Structure formats: structure tokens, C-alpha cells
């Protein structure tokens, strides 16, 4: 029983890895393709897992290649990936990288192996690193493979330089991922590049990641004037993105402002006619503690009114409690009728961790 339970956890964990990495660029289709269905027709997931477990590493790889040629997609190989991940521990990193660089293998198999390197935290030798760097520099592979390589490279000055090189290149999608990765390892350099992107009016994916990077950087700042100037800039860009029906940029701006965890940015989102009610609600949930912190520091009339408006949209128990305490300390009368007429929900404490 314990053994099967562990296996189920492992399959789920690897499934999350595959989906989380590849949904950056790929939309999976849920049904299994016809040919794959025929191969395992009328078999339960446990029976399929048992069949694949009894295959050798090479046999599983070949099956992934064969089914891929018949039209199977990456999402059809969750069990294959899970078993390959376990069996791959008998192989050196250079052997796995050799299979990844072998273009005769299917893209599905190569991506699975890349993600296994990341999932198993496999240390890459210098030759393997050199091969992966070379693939990224040439940019002749599919964008899915290139983006996966970006995320498995170890933190190093060489990786940072390569990310900077890609971020400043002409591939918009890769530039997004490279600057996102660079921001994790060298945020100062990432912010410099992001500011240059916006200064030069660069559009597309690089503009989106630039807005994300700068918003994240301002979250650490105590300079409210600088933050307010950024909110004003984002307001102008949000107007333009809505007018041009650029939903991707619109969403990025709203989420980035929410991620600042700044009461001024939240106030803007709540009051803006450009922000849909569902996104306002999501921002309030994410910033429940932002409101509490603002209420605890001799709040201004504007802060209290922002908190009231927020709780009218999405009432949260912990925030309402602090709002009542803040109002009791003032001599002003604030109307909490709408807030108190609604059923409050507990705060989502997972937002405290990000």
C-alpha cells in the first residue's frame, strides 16, 4: 500500500512540473490521441503504469517516439515521464543530454528528458552545459525545447550572460523567458534591461516581461513617489492595451500592479473602469494583508475608503476585523453597511508566502 501511494504522489508531482513549465507556450489537449488509446485500450491507469514500469528505459523512450510520430502530444505521456524519471537515475547527465541533442528523437521525448533533469536536480557536467548553451545560442530548435533549456540551466555567471544575450535578441518569446530567468538570478541587471525595453518602446512579449520585472522590483521599494509614477505609467499603458484589444498585455499590467503589494496600486485597480470585477476581486484577495498593513499605520481617509471599497467587492474576515479597529480610532463616520451585509471569507494565507 505504501509503495503504491508513493508512486501516485510521484506521478502527480511530475505531472505538475510538465504542465507548469510548458503551459508558458503550449496549450495541451486533454483527450488521448486515437493511436495511443488503441495501444492501451480498456486498460486502467494502474495497468498502464504497470506495463510501462516493466519496460526498459530504452523501450519507453522508443514508445514515446513511436506514439509521437502517430500524433500523441506531450500531455499523453505523464506516466511515461514518471517512470522515465525513476529509471533515468541509472544514467549520467551526459547520456541524457546526448539524447536531448539528438534530433532524431521526438520533441516530446526531448522535452520530457529536459524536465527530468530539472525535476531530479541532475548536476550537468561541463560538456553537457556547453552543448545546451550551444543549442540556445543557435536557436535552431523549437521554441518549446529552447524555453525548457532556459529553465534547467544552473545558476552561474555564464547562465546570466547567456540570458542577457537572449533577452536582447530578436526572438520575442525567448526574450520573455530569458529576462524572467535573469530576474531570478540577477534582478539588478534584469531591471536595467526592462527599463531599456520600455524606454525604447519595445512591444510584444518583451514589454510584458519588462512590466512584470519593474513591478516586482518596486515591491521592494519604500519610495512611494516612484511607485505612484509607475502606477500612472501603467494606467496609460492599460488604456492603450484595452483600446487595442491586447488582452495579454492588459492582464499582465493588472496582475503586475496587484503583485506590487502596494495600497496605492490596489486603490487604482479598485477604482479603475478598465479593470473587470473578477480581476479586482482577485487583486483584493492577493492584497488582503496589504490593506491590513496600511490600516495599521495611522491610515489616511483615502486608505480607509479604499479598504471599505475593497471589502464591498470581496469581504475578507481578517481585513474587516482590522478595518473596524482602524475606524474606531478615528472621529469620522464610515458606512460599513454594504460590507457587513455580505458573508466574509477567510483570507487566503498562501499569498503570504509569495
Strand partners, 345: 316
The 10s digit of each residue's pLDDT in 250-277 is 999 999 999 999 999 999 999 999 999 9
Task: Check whether 37 has a pLDDT greater than 80.
Answer: no
pLDDT at 38: 54
| Residue range 10-22: mean pLDDT, rounded | 41
pLDDT at 352: 83
Phi-psi region of 42 (alpha: psi -120 to 50; beta: other; left: phi over 0): left
* Residue whose entry in the numeric block shows the C-alpha cell 518549446: 144
Task: Check whether 102 has a pLDDT greater than 70.
Answer: yes
What is the C-alpha to C-alpha distance for residues 88 and 221, in angstroms, rounded to an integer? 44
So where are the chain's domains?
Answer: 1-152, 155-220
| Residue range 269-291: mean pLDDT, rounded | 97
The 10s digit of each residue's pLDDT in 41-50 is 677 878 888 9
Task: Please calculate the CA angle 299-305-310 and round it to the nearest 5 degrees.
Answer: 110
The 10s digit of each residue's pLDDT in 226-244 is 999 999 999 999 999 999 9
CA distances from 177 to 88, 168, 228 (A): 27, 12, 27
Sorted by sequence, the CB contacts under 8 Å of residue 272 that are 6+ apart come out as: 235, 238
The pLDDT confidence band at residue 156, using thresholds 50, 70 and 90, is: very high
C-beta of residue 152 within 8 angstroms of C-beta of residue 119:
no
**Which burial class, exposed, middle or buried, applies to 98 when counting CB atoms under 10 A from its CB (0-12, 13-18, 19+)?**
middle
The 10s digit of each residue's pLDDT in 213-227 is 999 999 999 999 999
What is the C-alpha to C-alpha distance for residues 196 and 205, in angstroms, rounded to an integer? 14
**Rounded mean pLDDT of the chain?**
88
Strand partners, 316: 345
**Which burial class, exposed, middle or buried, applies to 17 when counting CB atoms under 10 A from its CB (0-12, 13-18, 19+)?**
middle
Task: Check whether 33 has a pLDDT greater than 80.
Answer: no
What is the C-alpha to C-alpha distance for residues 248 and 205, in angstroms, rounded to an integer? 9
Q: pTM of the entire structure?
A: 0.83
More confident position, 354 or 162: 162
Q: How many Å from the N-terminal Cα to the C-terminal Cα in the chain?
A: 35
The pLDDT confidence band at residue 131, using thresholds 50, 70 and 90, is: very high
pLDDT at 48: 85
Task: Check whether 90 has a pLDDT greater than 50.
Answer: yes
CA distances from 140 to 5, 112, 134, 135 (A): 42, 19, 10, 7
pLDDT at 71: 87
Which one, of 132, 136, 20, lies nearest residue 75 by Cα?
Answer: 20
The pLDDT confidence band at residue 204, using thresholds 50, 70 and 90, is: very high
Task: Check whether 210 has a pLDDT greater than 50.
Answer: yes
Q: Any long-range contacts for 346-353 (C-beta under 8 Å, 24+ apart)?
A: 346/316, 346/317, 346/318, 347/285, 347/288, 347/289, 347/316, 347/317, 347/318, 347/319, 348/285, 348/286, 348/288, 351/285, 351/286, 351/287, 351/288, 351/289, 352/289
More confident position, 101 or 30: 101
% residues pLDDT > 70 (the chain): 89
Task: Check whether 126 has a pLDDT greater than 60.
Answer: yes
Task: Check whether 7 has a pLDDT greater than 70.
Answer: no
Amino acid at each position: 500500500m505504501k509503495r503504491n501511494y508513493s508512486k501516485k504522489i510521484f506521478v502527480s508531482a511530475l505531472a505538475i512540473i510538465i504542465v507548469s513549465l510548458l503551459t508558458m507556450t503550449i496549450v495541451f489537449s486533454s483527450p488521448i490521441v486515437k493511436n495511443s488509446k488503441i495501444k492501451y485500450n480498456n486498460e486502467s491507469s494502474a495497468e498502464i503504469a504497470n506495463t510501462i514500469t516493466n519496460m526498459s528505459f530504452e523501450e519507453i523512450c522508443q514508445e514515446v517516439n513511436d506514439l509521437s510520430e502517430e500524433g500523441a502530444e506531450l500531455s499523453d505521456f505523464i506516466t511515461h515521464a514518471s517512470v522515465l524519471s525513476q529509471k533515468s537515475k541509472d544514467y549520467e547527465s551526459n547520456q541524457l543530454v546526448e539524447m536531448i541533442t539528438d534530433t532524431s528523437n521526438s520533441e516530446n521525448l526531448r522535452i520530457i528528458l529536459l524536465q527530468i533533469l530539472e525535476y531530479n536536480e541532475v548536476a550537468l557536467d561541463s560538456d553537457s552545459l556547453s552543448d545546451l548553451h550551444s543549442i540556445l545560442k543557435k536557436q535552431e530548435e523549437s521554441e518549446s525545447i529552447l524555453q525548457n533549456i532556459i529553465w534547467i540551466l544552473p545558476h552561474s555567471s555564464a547562465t546570466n550572460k547567456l540570458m542577457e544575450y537572449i533577452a536582447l535578441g530578436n526572438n520575442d518569446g525567448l526574450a520573455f523567458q530569458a529576462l524572467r530567468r535573469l530576474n531570478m538570478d540577477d534582478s539588478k541587471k534584469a531591471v536595467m534591461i526592462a527599463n531599456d525595453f520600455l524606454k525604447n518602446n519595445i512591444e510584444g512579449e518583451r514589454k510584458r516581461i519588462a512590466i512584470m520585472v519593474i513591478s516586482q522590483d518596486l515591491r521592494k521599494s519604500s519610495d512611494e513617489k516612484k511607485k505612484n509614477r509607475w502606477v500612472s505609467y501603467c494606467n496609460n499603458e492599460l488604456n492603450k492595451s484595452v483600446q487595442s484589444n491586447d488582452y495579454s498585455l492588459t492582464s499582465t499590467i493588472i496582475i503586475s500592479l496587484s503583485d506590487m503589494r502596494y495600497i496605492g496600486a490596489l486603490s487604482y485597480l479598485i477604482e479603475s473602469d478598465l479593470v473587470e470585477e473578477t480581476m479586482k476581486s482577485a487583486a483584493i484577495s492577493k492584497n488582503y494583508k496589504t490593506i491590513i498593513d496600511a490600516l495599521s499605520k495611522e491610515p489616511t481617509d483615502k486608505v480607509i475608503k479604499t479598504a471599505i471599497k475593497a471589502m464591498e467587492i470581496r469581504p475578507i474576515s481578517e481585513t474587516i476585523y482590522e478595518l473596524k479597529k482602524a475606524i474606531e480610532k478615528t472621529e469620522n463616520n464610515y458606512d460599513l453597511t454594504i460590507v457587513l451585509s455580505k458573508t466574509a471569507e477567510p483570507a487566503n494565507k498562501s499569498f503570504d508566502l509569495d
